[in-house]
Amino acid sequence: MNEYTLNFSSSSEDNGKFKLLELPPELCKLVESAINSNTSPSLMIKGQPNEDAVLCTADKTYTVRSIVLSNSMVVATPPAASSSEDSEDSIEIRDQLNEILELVPTVPKLHKLESLLRGQEYDDGDIDDMYDDDEQRPTKRWRYTYEDVSGSIQASEVELQRGLKERRILTLNGQLRPLRPSYLTTILELLLNTLVSLSLPHTAAPVDRLVDTLAQAYDIQRDVSTQVMSWFGTILSDSWDMDVDAVVKEVGLGLLRPHKDGPIAEAEFLQKWRKAVGDTFEARVSLQLLSGNYLSDRSLTQEVVQLTYFPSSALPVEPAARFTDLFLTRDRWTADDLAPFLADIVVDSKDRDKLLLKYARAVTGSEGVWYMARAKYNR
């Protein structure tokens, strides 16, 4: 057995300098692939001083957690080259570690977009207000760019781009502008009407013709309508393949939003929804498309089903606060009814089941399994 001389580092700069990071299998493969191809893996630590740190790859986000070790570990390196004959048998202890950093997959922290871009909404009749209309001078109004939010939002690039799309955030003159929901509904209804009036196939509609028609007939900016079309389908070689379900869903949400405080009868709502999308697409209307955005209740007479707008996106992002809100809204939930309101705060079904075990209790009755709050909340 070889014997080595242990020397402690005399440099105070080494203390606390080293961190041991445990990589999950998928990140190990990513790093190994980068080494084999002689490239650098895309890894970035994100987080403000008041936030828990996350590690982002090109397409995933991981929470960085500290795990205390029961046995300490040391970081040891060979000493610097010297003329001493026994230098090769010496090891220098640089630091002592009492913890390792663990990476756990997590949902991207995209909720911060709403606060950053509040008050920046783009609406009907809006113009490029970066310039004074009379003197054509730049105004002092601040707008966020993609680069601005990319550095502060704890999400990978792929997740951030998907989040901007799902939150209907336009990029105009390099600036991020959330599109007002009511105006988005108007644009989609006009697109559907234009497809029908011009007898254009929704699977291969000419982009330029649609954009020009909306600009000339309804004063919708070309870059706005083009981006909206890209959110709700695929644009390839000036041809738009519309995602019918996505468009029908958004039109339905537009009709349901006004009913946040006052419910609407299900039959009446479905009738309005079918009329809004037209004869061509009315067969695609289904309440399943709006899952996670409404509550359904029967009237006291048990004859009329009422729908109330209740979007999961408006609920707190912290699990404890979200469950509090959910159980204040309803005393009990079925698993199927509850799942859509947890989808945006969990990584997968296993993560969701862990939250259910922590914050809810299952009760089996004659009607099946119901989930109720572990703690009582006052209405």
Distance CA(88)–CA(81), nearest Å, equals 8
Distance CA(199)–CA(194), nearest Å, equals 8
Predicted local distance difference test score (pLDDT) of residue 368: 85
pLDDT (tens digit, 9 = 90+) per residue, 331-367?
Answer: 999 999 999 999 999 999 999 999 999 999 999 988 8
Give residue limits of the domains in the chain.
5-106, 112-179, 323-379
Predicted local distance difference test score (pLDDT) of residue 131: 44
- Segment 289-306 mean pLDDT: 86
pLDDT (tens digit, 9 = 90+) per residue, 219-261?
Answer: 999 999 999 999 999 999 999 999 999 999 999 999 999 999 8
Over 60: is that where the pLDDT of 272 sits? Answer: yes
Written as six digits, the tokens of 134 are 């009379």
Element (H, E) at 351: helix 349-359
- Segment 2-22 mean pLDDT: 74
pLDDT (tens digit, 9 = 90+) per residue, 144-166?
Answer: 999 999 988 999 999 999 999 99
Predicted local distance difference test score (pLDDT) of residue 187: 97
Distance CA(4)–CA(1), nearest Å, equals 10
Predicted local distance difference test score (pLDDT) of residue 130: 46
Dihedral (C-alpha) 106, 108, 109, 111: value to the nearest 10 degrees? -130
Predicted local distance difference test score (pLDDT) of residue 45: 93
Predicted local distance difference test score (pLDDT) of residue 132: 45
Over 80: is that where the pLDDT of 286 sits? Answer: yes
Cβ–Cβ < 8 Å for 222, 211: yes
Q: ∠ CA(352), CA(357), CA(358), 5° rounding?
A: 95
Task: List, in order, residues 6 or more apart from 247 with CB less than 8 Å away.
Answer: 188, 191, 192, 232, 233, 277, 281
Over 60: is that where the pLDDT of 134 sits? Answer: no
pLDDT (tens digit, 9 = 90+) per residue, 72-106?
Answer: 888 888 766 544 555 567 788 888 888 999 999 99
Mean pLDDT of the chain: 89
Burial (0-12, 13-18, 19+ Cβ within 10 Å), 251: buried
Instruction: Tell me how far CA of residue 331 lies from CA of 219, 293, 316, 360, 370, in angstroms.
Output: 48, 18, 18, 11, 10
Predicted local distance difference test score (pLDDT) of residue 257: 96
pTM of the full predicted structure?
A: 0.84
Exposure of 143 in the CB half-sphere (CA atoms within 13 A): 21
The residue type at 149: V
| Percentages of the chain per state (helix, strand, coil), in multiples of 5 | 40, 25, 35
pLDDT (tens digit, 9 = 90+) per residue, 300-330?
Answer: 666 789 999 999 999 999 999 999 999 999 9
Predicted local distance difference test score (pLDDT) of residue 177: 96
What percent of the chain shows pLDDT beyond 90?
A: 71
Architecture of domain 5-106: Sandwich (2.60)
Distance CA(129)–CA(334), nearest Å, equals 48
Over 70: is that where the pLDDT of 107 sits? Answer: yes
Predicted local distance difference test score (pLDDT) of residue 98: 87
Top pLDDT among 260 and 125 is at: 260
Over 60: is that where the pLDDT of 291 sits? Answer: yes
